[in-house]
Structure 1
Amino acid sequence: MFGDMMGMLGKVKEFQAKMKEAQESLGHLTESAESGAGLVKVTVNGLKKVTSLSIDPELIKPEDREMLQDLIAAAINKAMEKIEDQIKAHIQQSTEGVLPNIPGLDLSKFMK
């Protein structure tokens, strides 16, 4: 019984190390999205930070300010949704084989 407990503790430590490693490498994941038929383009990384934003010069007019704000928000939201899938896959791949496969366990919730 004690050996089983020690084995489980070893798995938990291994899992923690793999999660830390996975977290540190999330900055290398990127995803891009656009809105307004490509007038606004945004790229985000796996740390959920915007890394680039491109705005077509035609949109930079005072009278189009509200539309521009909406397009920027839409592009960022799309990119954030898309990066979530990459983050989940990355975490799953990085921690594969450490813990048993538990259906419904979302390991990305352990990310800070």
Structure 2
Amino acid sequence: MNMNNLMKQAQQMQAKLAMLQNELAEREVEASAGGMVKVRVNGKQQVLSISINKECVDPNDVASLEELVLTAVNQGLKQSQDMVQQAMSKVTGGMNIPGLF
């Protein structure tokens, strides 16, 4: 393989990765903590919304609500990261290239 072919392949992969980044920014996942707290996260790992069921709002038990929110956010971020990882492996052929996302 010559250097020109390697450069072309690198440029093609870079273009595919740029397209994938834009596509992933539009994708969303939703996670829930016991159905009481729901979180939407996009492929950039940005939390888009948090919905809290009125039934779980108890001024005497704020700690439980905080735990539900934390759980839902962490699950949403994990699902988003998994979605990105899966999409990236299709473009990179399974190679783990640090720092891409």
Which TM-score bucket, shorter chain as reference? 0.7 to 0.9
The root-mean-square deviation of aligned C-alpha atoms, in Å, is 1.9
Segments of 4+ moved more than 3 angstroms:
none
Unmatched 5+ residue regions in structure 1?
Answer: none
Partners of 1:65 and 1:34 lie apart in 2 by 18
Partners of 1:19 and 1:60 lie apart in 2 by 42
1:53 partnered with 2:50: yes
User: Cα 1:24–1:108, aligned 2, differ >3 Å: closer, same or farther?
Assistant: farther
- TM-score when scaled to structure 2? 0.86
1:80 partnered with 2:70: no
In structure 1, the residue corresponding to 2:40 is in which secondary structure?
A: strand
Q: 1:69 maps to what in 2?
A: 66
In structure 1, the residue corresponding to 2:44 is in which secondary structure?
A: coil
Note the alpha carbon deviations across 1:26-84, whole angstroms, 9 max, x for none. Answer: 1222111111x211111111110111211011222321211111110100111111122
- TM-score when scaled to structure 1? 0.78
Unmatched 5+ residue regions in structure 2?
Answer: none
Percent sequence identity over matched residues?
27
Partners of 1:89 and 1:73 lie apart in 2 by 24
Supply the AA of the counterpart residue of 2:100.
Answer: F
1:106 partnered with 2:96: yes
For residues 7-18 of structure 1, the aligned pairs below 5 Å read: 7-18=5-16
Moved more, 72-81 or 61-70: 61-70
